[in-house]
Chain A
Amino acid sequence: MSGERQREEANQHDDMSIKWRDALGRLDKGSDQVVPYAAEAVLLGLSSGPACLTSCGPVVVPWLAAEGRGFAGTAVRLTVFLCGRLAGYLLFAALLWTLGLALPMPPRPRALIFGAVHVALAAALAWYALARRRGAGLQPAALVTLQAKPPGPRSTPALLGLLTGLNLCPPFLAAAVRAAESPSLPSALLFFFVFFFGTLVWFPPLILLGALRRRTAVAQVARITLVILAAYYAYLGLISLGGVLLSA
């Protein structure tokens, strides 16, 4: 009895494997080497994770410190941030393929896209730092007065994650080059998706920033840091956009 059941289960497993292979095969018609493809993405993510961390660091570290939450609150915000970053990755891959741009991207659209992203990132950082300075975030003032510690806007981590996800950091470029070689959009998306999971292992240590909870001076320093970083990203963005406008 149990032997028949085992055989049935094995058959079901084989069917699932075939279905899964077919599905993945449909994702990438030119290739039946999904596992090596995904493994490559994971390994790329794992090996370039420190670079991802340092690339996102200027945004995520001072922002988490400015939030001043405990370990659990920091972990939640970090997760939302990372989801935003994943969305940024996928959006970029989709944009790349939809617009039919191949890497290396022509200088003009590249300067436009990343100039705009940097300006948006600068605006988000400055707005967040100054809004937190007033202690209100996006919340209406009347509600804030009812709370001992006003919560920051819930969209902030996702927005910051999205904007840093769209940044041209070296690991991102490496993944983009590899994904660009894929013959279809879904396979490129898959590559970015798996690559993202490879980089994830480097981010949990940031939860330790929760230890800085209730340290007012640290939160103040973090907000000033965000303003400085906003100025830096604004400069990068405006220089890029200015170059495009001048060359037009």
Chain B
Amino acid sequence: MPDRIEKPPPRRLAKSLLLTLPVLLWALLMFSGTLMLPGRASKAAALLALSFMVTLFLLMMRTRETHRWRRVFFVALGFLFPIGFVWELIAVRGSMSIPIEQMLAGNTPFCFLAIPMMIVPAALTRTIIFPGTILPTPGNPHSIAVMIGLWLAATIVLGKGWCSFGCFFGGLEEGFSTLARKARIRNISAKWRLVPWAVLAAIVLLSAATFEPVYCTWLCPFKTVTEYVEVRSLETAVQAGIFLSLFAGLVVALPVLTKKRTQCAFFCPFGAFQSLFNKTNIFDIRIDRGKCADCVSCQRSCPIQALDKASVDAGKTLLSCMRCGACVDACHKQAAFWHIKGTAAGAAPERARLMYLYAAWGFATMFGGSIIAGSLEKLLGFLG
């Protein structure tokens, strides 16, 4: 059992507040539009979301822990996003399912998961294979250009940190993975980590061949809690069955049994695609072999198995690391630390963490925070 002697003490409250000030100002700027709206529900929702985001950042500063507080935000985002999204769908269409006529009219809300599938057809034929609209329209405010712009900005800054601070689906399985006290399934073969790359290759190739976003049509588990093609035929029934099975297995059952984000770790092709941007991102996590006690706490704590013995021996995480900070928080010897590429390893890890967190939390407040506020507004409006 690893000792806890070397755990850093909490930061002083005054300094923590000072470090939180930029995030508070940013959050005020982000929510100012909603705070000015006339409805009480929207004001209250914006205020709640603002307080939520700022408080969590303050706790990150005070306790020096990242993953614990990020997870609270991420689970809230994961569970509140479908509520707001489905609410909107039912208000507009009266149903969670999208009729084929609406798809043909380009009224399908765009999701970032479709991005890898669009690249080859767009490059070869200058065709966008998603049935949405490039710019926002009254019938479809979730346009392709807006989502790609947001994703690109976040990806440049955060790399695969998108999967810890931006993805509005991952919080669901992260939430389910915290339910059980102990993992029932522990020994998961490292080969399963290759599956997301295979799914990515398959969907990119098939999407180029069929000119349709194959993952969205056939494999997305999150169709279960967002929208799916209206079941009118055997094919759409099969598709709905696949969505439900994958959701029940990968997002609910396996996270409970393994305490891991199994869909992200062993299936999500977008996660594999996003891993490539860890190469271009300036932030990473390193392991000081001199301090490491080989307690494997970091490997156990990683939600997506992005650490193994070989990578720890090499002093770094695997390419699939999503920069959630779980390993850094779990390391009792402070051997795992945040790092900025090009700087001396271990020179100023807390400074690297702060720089990363300002970028990540700034994006999380703007993107996830506004989603949380939107869903809260609908819930508060419903409750009167």
Write the residues of chain A forming the contact surface with B, with a CB cutoff of 8 angstroms.
50, 54-55, 57-58, 61-62, 169, 217, 220-222, 224-225, 227-229, 232, 235, 239
Contacts and interface: CB of A to CB of B under 8 A. Distances in A.
A25 B158 CA distance: 66
Contacts of B191: 220
Contacts of A229: 202, 205-206
25 contacts: A50-B124, A50-B125, A54-B121, A54-B124, A54-B209, A55-B209, A57-B208, A58-B202, A58-B205, A58-B209, A220-B194, A221-B194, A221-B197, A222-B198, A222-B201, A224-B195, A224-B197, A224-B198, A225-B198, A225-B201, A228-B198, A228-B199, A228-B202, A229-B206, A235-B238
A232 B202 contact: yes
Q: Most chain-A Cβ atoms within 10 A of its Cβ — which of B120, B125, B191, B205? A: B205
Nearest to B196: A221
A21 B125 CA distance: 38
Interface string B114-134: 000000110011000000000
Contacts of B120: 54
A199 B202 CA distance: 23
A57 B205 contact: yes
Given A54-B120, A61-B201, A221-B197, 18 more contacts: A50-B124, A54-B205, A54-B209, A55-B209, A57-B208, A58-B202, A58-B206, A58-B209, A61-B205, A169-B209, A217-B194, A221-B194, A224-B195, A224-B197, A227-B198, A229-B202, A229-B206, A239-B234
Q: 3 tightest A-B contacts by CB?
A: A224-B198, A54-B208, A58-B205
- Max chain B C-beta neighbours (<10 A), residue from A61, A62, A222, A224: A224
A228 B208 CA distance: 16
Nearest to B198: A224
A235 B205 CA distance: 17
B299 to A, nearest CB: 19
B235 interface: yes
Contacts of A221: 194, 197-198, 201
A232 B206 CA distance: 9
Interface in B193-223: 194-195, 197-199, 201-202, 205-206, 208-209, 218
Contacts of A235: 238
Interface in B220-253: 234-235, 238
A232 B210 CA distance: 12
B147 to A, nearest CB: 24
Greatest chain A CB density within 10 A among B121, B194, B218, B238 is at B194
Interface residues of B, number: 20
A121 to B, nearest CB: 12
A141 B351 CA distance: 58
A246 B358 CA distance: 61
Contacts of A57: 205, 208-209
Contacts of B125: 50
A233 B158 CA distance: 37
Name the residue among B208, B235, B238 with the largest chain A CB count within 10 angstroms.
B208
B311 to A, nearest CB: 14
Interface centre among A169, A225, A227, A228, by most chain B C-beta atoms within 10 angstroms, is A225
A225 B200 CA distance: 8
| Most interface-central of A169, A221, A229 (chain B CB within 10 A) | A221
Nearest to A243: B234
Contacts of A62: 201-202, 205
Contacts of B197: 221, 224
A230 to B, nearest CB: 10
Interface in B75-101: none
Nearest to B121: A54
B252 to A, nearest CB: 22
Nearest to B192: A224
Nearest to A58: B205
Interface string B175-196: 0000000000000000100110
A45 to B, nearest CB: 16
Nearest to A202: B124
A152 B243 CA distance: 36
Nearest to B219: A228
Contacts of A58: 202, 205-206, 209
A224 B208 contact: no
Contacts of A54: 120-121, 124, 205, 208-209
A149 to B, nearest CB: 20
A118 to B, nearest CB: 13
A220 B194 CA distance: 8
Contacts of B234: 239
A200 B202 CA distance: 23
B86 to A, nearest CB: 28
A169 B211 CA distance: 11
A30 B223 CA distance: 56
B85 to A, nearest CB: 28
A59 to B, nearest CB: 9
A227 B195 CA distance: 11
Nearest to B124: A50
Nearest to A57: B205
Contacts of A239: 234-235
A228 B196 CA distance: 11
Nearest to A228: B202
A50 B191 CA distance: 33
Contacts of B205: 54, 57-58, 61-62, 225, 229
Contacts of A222: 198, 201
Contacts of B124: 50, 54
